[in-house]
Amino acid sequence: MSKEAVLEAAKQSIMEADEDLAMQALKDAEAEKIDAVELLSNGYSAGMKELGDQFGRGEIFLPELIFATEVMKTVTAEIESKMDVADTQAKGVMVIGTVAGDVHDIGKGIVASLVKTNGVEVHDLGREVPAEVFIEKVKEVNANFVGSSALLTTTMTEQKKIEELLVKEGLRDKVKTMVGGAPVTKRWAEKIGADAYCEDASDTVNFILNWIEQM
């Protein structure tokens, strides 16, 4: 089975919320020695992104998105469990969460999983996380990276608050910050002083790996 076929099967398994198909794609990927990160990025996550776009256009409904997310969680947990401990020796530490006032965490969860499979220790704070909690966790785990997601224009200001608190606590020079979410833009990231705007999970991983090389 070709790599392209396996990646397409992985993508379709998420779009169809078919756990059996998702697990078969995982087995096929192992047989073909396809890199787990590539499988997640170009297979499963690609399916999740396509579904997210369809949901945004009103072509599918929330239950379909939720079913697909459950399959995605199962697959990423399986991939993480199979990864060699030596392969996952922490290259850095990341704190990530969806900001206060915002309950959306599907995209953020995918980002957390993909970053974790790239050997970074990830502390996922969940959703509706106050800026102060981000700061407390950064101190507690001595984080190198901070990622915040906002899916509503009304909650984007929380990302700015995180930046301000990091400065106030003398932590800003010790971490790299990333912001993401549907209404978030590169311009917004620059305006609040974040290090990067990340459009999707692959974007986030690329930024982090590039920063790690420079550490």
pLDDT in tens, the chain (215 residues): 899 999 999 999 999 999 999 999 999 999 999 988 789 888 998 888 788 778 778 898 878 888 888 898 899 888 878 765 445 456 899 999 999 999 888 778 878 877 877 778 999 999 999 999 999 999 999 999 999 999 999 999 999 999 999 999 999 999 999 999 989 999 999 999 999 999 877 789 889 989 998 88
Instruction: Report if residue 88 sits inside a domain.
Output: no
User: What is the extent of the structural domain holding 13?
Assistant: 3-82
Is 204 in the same domain as 100? yes
Is 125 in the same domain as 188? yes
CATH code, 147: 3.40.50.280
Report the domain count for the chain. Answer: 2
HEC letters along the chain: CCHHHHHHHHHHHHHCCCHHHHHHHHHHHHHCCCCHHHHHHHHHHHHHHHHHHHHHCCCCCHHHHHHHHHHHHHHHHHHHHHCCCCCCCCCCEEEEEEECCCCCCHHHHHHHHHHHCCCCEEEECCCCECHHHHHHHHHHHCCCEEEEECCCCCCCHHHHHHHHHHHHCCCHHHCEEEEECCCCCHHHHHHHCCCEECCCHHHHHHHHHHHHHHC
CATH code, 71: 1.10.1240.10
Write down which residue in 56, 82, 108 finishes a domain.
82
Write down which residue in 21, 51, 82 finishes a domain.
82
